[in-house]
């Protein structure tokens, strides 16, 4: 393949987590108030965003092991945040006071919970990202109409016998009941990634699958 997107690196599975950064983030009252904190306002915002990044893989939770009777979780947290312990302490006090963060202390660990992250996380891979870019670019180049409706990851098209097409390339075939069974058995994000990867493998590698439903169940197991 002579397309710049279809190189060896393209087929490397490099999964990553992300969180949705809402466009009105800096318009929220608690963020505006944070900006106005003398000397430390912008630093507090950066530290809060770092906390979000640390919490994203566990859907809002950061577990910090604390060793010894005098163990201070802020020492470990400051190290991960790459800030001074005093700055970490002051910023965390502000977050807790303004309900941006909750802290739960247990015997040998401290759990930091970032509520904003719990319902705003997702997982993808560079492989899937590049496939979307390549496919959408091809659609644009092949379409003479300037008003192009780009295909979304979750796009689906109903076909015969209640079978629905899923995936970037709309080539993963499942009935509505089969899809519902998958998301009842497995995490919906894991199902989405498995469907995405199968769609890419079918289109770009040319793998043949007799039964997409059974293949996905085996993959998710």
pLDDT tens digit sequence for 13-52: 577 888 888 889 899 898 999 999 888 899 999 999 999 9
Residue 207 lies in a domain: yes
From 167, 38, 128, select the one nearest 90 (Cα to Cα).
38
Shared domain for 95 and 148, answered yes or no, is no
Of 95, 118, 141, the residue that ends a domain is: 118
Q: State the pTM of this model.
A: 0.58
More confident residue, 77 or 131: 77
pLDDT at 80 over 60: yes
Backbone angles phi, psi at 95, to 5 degrees: -60, -45
Last residue of a domain, one of 99, 118, 137: 118
Domain boundary residue among 68, 98, 118? Answer: 118
137: phi then psi, degrees, rounded to nearest 5: -65, -40
CATH number at residue 52: 1.10.10.10
Q: Report if residue 94 sits inside a domain.
A: yes
Do 110 and 41 share a structural domain? yes
Asked if 150 and 210 sit in the same domain, the reply is yes
pLDDT at 148 > cutoff 60? no
Give the mean model confidence (pLDDT) for residues 193-213.
85
The boundaries of the domain holding residue 181 are 8-13+125-220
Q: Do 148 and 216 fall within a single domain? A: yes
Average pLDDT for the chain: 80
75 and 155 inside one domain: no
| Integer Cα distance of 41 and 92 in angstroms | 13
Number of structural domains found in the chain: 2
Using pLDDT thresholds of 50, 70 and 90, give the confidence band for residue 136: low
Long-range contacts, 181-190 (Cβ 8 Å, 24+) = 182/213, 182/216, 182/217, 182/220, 185/217, 185/220, 186/220, 189/121, 189/122, 189/123, 190/123, 190/220
Instruction: State in Å, rounded, how far the first CA of the chain is from the last one.
Output: 32
Residues 91 and 36 in one domain: yes
Residue, of 136 and 161, whose pLDDT is higher: 136
- The candidate with the shortest Cα–Cα distance to 187, out of 123, 112, 114, is 123
């Amino acid at each position: 393949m002579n397309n710049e997107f279809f190189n060896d690196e393209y087929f490397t599975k490099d999964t990553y987590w992300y969180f949705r950064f809402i466009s009105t983030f800096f318009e929220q009252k608690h963020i505006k108030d944070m900006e106005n904190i003398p000397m430390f306002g912008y630093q507090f915002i950066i530290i809060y965003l770092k906390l979000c990044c640390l919490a994203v893989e566990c859907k809002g939770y950061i577990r910090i092991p604390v060793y010894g009777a005098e163990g201070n979780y802020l020492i470990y947290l400051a190290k991960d945040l790459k800030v001074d312990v005093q700055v970490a302490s002051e910023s965390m006090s502000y977050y807790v006071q303004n309900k941006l963060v909750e802290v739960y202390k247990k015997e040998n660990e401290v759990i930091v919970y970032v509520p904003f992250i719990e319902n705003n996380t997702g997982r993808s891979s560079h492989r899937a990202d590049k496939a979307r870019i390549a496919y959408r670019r091809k659609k644009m180049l092949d379409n003479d109409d300037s008003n192009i409706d780009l295909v979304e990851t979750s796009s689906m098209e109903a076909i015969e016998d209640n079978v629905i097409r899923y995936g970037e390339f709309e080539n993963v075939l499942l009935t509505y009941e089969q899809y519902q069974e998958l998301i009842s058995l497995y995490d919906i994000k894991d199902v989405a990634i498995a469907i995405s990867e199968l769609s890419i493998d079918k289109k770009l590698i040319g793998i043949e699958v007799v039964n997409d439903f059974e293949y996905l169940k085996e993959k998710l197991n």
